[in-house]
Structure 1
Amino acid sequence: MLNFTDNYARSFYYLRLSITDVCNFRCTYCLPDGYRPQGANNKSFLSLDEIRRVTRAFAAAGTEKVRLTGGEPSMRRDFTDIIAAVRENKGIRQLAVTTNGYRLKRDVAQWRDAGLTGINVSVDSLDPRQFHAITGQDKFEEVMRGIDAAFDAGFSKVKVNSVLMRDVNYRQLDSFLGWIRTRPIQLRFIELMETGEGGDLFRRQHVSGESIRQYLLEHGWVLQARARSDGPAQVFHHPDYLGEIGLIMPYEKDFCASCNRLRVSAVGKLHLCLFGDGGVPLRDLLENDDQQDALQARIASSLSHKKQTHFLHQGNTGITQNLSFIGG
């Protein structure tokens, strides 16, 4: 069986598939001015059949996990159908979504019935007023009820993403830890990453996750081993907590050494890195079912161009103007 492997012996078991770049939130670190179309192709997002074909090609090459991203994936009216289409691939054992949570309460049960196995919800503050200030939406209580609904629907764990910002949530660690003491939530602190449109914010608010890691280690938290299709988080467990802490630190040395994920944008381009310089077009090979071998071959050959690391340390953010563009 063909496996997707690059020149640095990294194998790719994880696909992050963006299905829209539209989002209804205006988060300060991503879309502070709200959603703006990225160009002439913005309305032509991958169709259900194209999604079926691209995920089939990845599954046939050993992909075990798919994450549906955006923008906000649930803005797609056919989102439940997309879940079911991806789950047609028996080799895909995990299918997750990253969402702002505003439709969780209403729809999460049907998402689970369609085959969704994992949920990440973005929550950058446990203070409703600060949540409103960050997202531009007064939806904190609605998102909290959505997380409860996910547990009610049968999800045993929910992951919560929180972008680490110096003057916003960095000092709320105690509140976050209290929140997960009795809840099976994996709280993931993500270092703020510089994008083309977010340089000023990055310089004001970036803080390394190293201080949180040191705090956790000094207070009895233990680092867990990674599975091969896991994301980039360093996950910590504590015997007194039902929840977990994950740290995603893209500025740490050797962050890219364990890279196991590829990205396909909502308009059908393969991105070898979130902060790469361009994308490899795949859409011409998604028109029918007869081009699967050619599609796999193009993806495999593209991996020879994947660089050993990103260049965020040098301030090079590639083509990523904001995190909704490729899917974060």
Structure 2
Amino acid sequence: MWQLNQSLDGGQGAAVPAPSATGLQDRFARRFGYLRLSLTEVCNFRCSYCLPDGYRPADGKRPGFLGRDELLRVARAFVALGTTKIRLTGGEPSLRRDLTEIIADLAALPQAPRLALTTNGYRLQAQAAAWRQAGLAQLNVSIDSLDPREFALITGDSRLPQILDGLEAAWAAGFGTIKVNTVLLKGLNDHALGNFLAWIRDKPIQLRFIELMQTGQRQAYFDRHHLDGTALLASLLNQGWQPVPRGVDDGPAQVLRHPDYVGELGFILPYSPDFCASCNRLRVSASGQLHLCLFGDGGIDLRDLLQADAQQADLMRRLQQALQHKARAHRLHQGNAGVREHLASIGG
């Protein structure tokens, strides 16, 4: 874990300049306008690739996640430094009872960022309209199979019909294209491409295939179920799917469109060459740690600077200087997943 508190906040280290107008930029001239803000590590699903035994607090301690005021201060600092998109993640963020209020808090910020939410969808049917009214602009829903039995096998949950009804409720509430995340799993859902394509033919869905990523607790699972997504991507390009240019605040997905389909396809392929060259996103965990990479070796504590509005300038300085430690790329190709035990700990 890096010991940056003293050197980055102007306390006992060298004098720190005021936040510059350059915003959030690293040594490699990459600019970061996209924040993934985790609200909780807790999840109520038991996905086989993430938390097959369910969520368990570290050391058995009751977790202390960021409160509304702390979350707002994080978001305000990022927005002041040029962030234009904030994605609320988990765990499962809808487990927080104050999720709607958090969305409204962030939507009320001056120069409000585009707000997105990644969810397993179990509360979508009941809450989609409230989230939309509060200011949520975009939804990502995790659906790893369209077959109820297969879905239950992968996720440990049997609520696929309710989640699909939730998509209908979200469209009725005014959400446009909904992104659906599907982790590619060899031997589990890799046979179902035809069903997925039929599903998006007449629906405003961007179906995003995510290549399984290595984590510390799931090495044997990774070895058994990892599927290289580049072959599937190449096959679809040969079938008339066309690549779409990436937007400024878009994530890492390579998006494809086809004239015969209302829906789109996306591919997130972390093992592809130069995956990190276009990185534009930073992560703050539910406990207030800044993570420069999903697969980095540690986090930088922000929580001591989230207790009062008067600390905002110091918080912005810490964010800017921390970025000078960001590596050029992850080390997944060398079999090094950093300290990440599972993706629920940081929101993926």
Identity of matched residues, %: 56
Which of 315, 320, 331 is matched with 1:295 structurally? 315
What's the counterpart of residue 185 of structure 2? 165
Shift in Å, 1:285: 0.2
Shift in Å, 1:181: 0.1
What's the counterpart of residue 202 of structure 1? 222
Shift in Å, 1:92: 3.5
Q: What are the superposed Cα offsets for residues 26-49 of structure 1, whole Å, 9 maximum, x if unpaired?
A: 000000010111247752100000
Shift in Å, 1:286: 0.3
Shift in Å, 1:171: 1.3
Q: What are the superposed Cα offsets for residues 115-172 of structure 1, whole Å, 9 maximum, x if unpaired?
A: 0000000000010000011111110101100111100111111100000011111111
Structure 1 position 142 matched with structure 2 position 167: no
What's the counterpart of residue 89 of structure 1? 109
Shift in Å, 1:208: 1.0
Structure 1 position 318 matched with structure 2 position 338: yes
What's the counterpart of residue 109 of structure 1? 129
What's the counterpart of residue 224 of structure 1? 244
Corresponding residue SS for 1:197 = helix
What's the counterpart of residue 254 of structure 1? 274
Contact 1:256 1:309 in 2 (8 A): yes
What's the counterpart of residue 286 of structure 1? 306
Contact 1:63 1:91 in 2 (8 A): no
Structure 1 position 118 matched with structure 2 position 138: yes
Structure 1 position 156 matched with structure 2 position 151: no
Shift in Å, 1:225: 0.3
Q: What are the superposed Cα offsets for residues 216-244 of structure 1, whole Å, 9 maximum, x if unpaired?
A: 11111000001111000000000110000
The 5-angstrom pairing of residues 6-21 of structure 1 reads 6-21=26-41
Structure 1 position 53 matched with structure 2 position 73: yes
Query: 1:35 & 1:60 partners in 2: Cα distance?
Result: 34
Query: 2:77 & 2:233 partners in 1: Cα distance?
Result: 38
Q: Which segment drifts farther, 34-43 or 175-184?
A: 34-43
List runs of 5+ in structure 1 lacking aligned partners: none
What's the counterpart of residue 151 of structure 2? 131
Contact 2:276 2:329 in 1 (8 A): yes
TM-align CA RMSD: 1.0
Corresponding residue SS for 2:181 = strand
Length-normalised TM-score, structure 1: 0.98
Shift in Å, 1:293: 0.5
Letter in 2 for 1:18: S
Shift in Å, 1:91: 2.6
Query: 2:340 & 2:272 partners in 1: Cα distance?
Result: 20
Q: What are the superposed Cα offsets for residues 36-81 of structure 1, whole Å, 9 maximum, x if unpaired?
A: 1124775210000000100000000000000000000000000001
Q: Which segment drifts farther, 37-46 or 120-129?
A: 37-46
Contact 2:79 2:113 in 1 (8 A): no
Aligned residues: 328
Letter in 2 for 1:191: E
Structure 1 position 304 matched with structure 2 position 324: yes
Which of 28, 51, 75 is matched with 2:95 structurally? 75
Letter in 1 for 2:64: S
Which of 250, 267, 280 is matched with 2:287 structurally? 267
Query: 1:42 & 1:182 partners in 2: Cα distance?
Result: 45
Query: 2:181 & 2:335 partners in 1: Cα distance?
Result: 24
What's the counterpart of residue 119 of structure 2? 99
Query: 2:113 & 2:313 partners in 1: Cα distance?
Result: 22
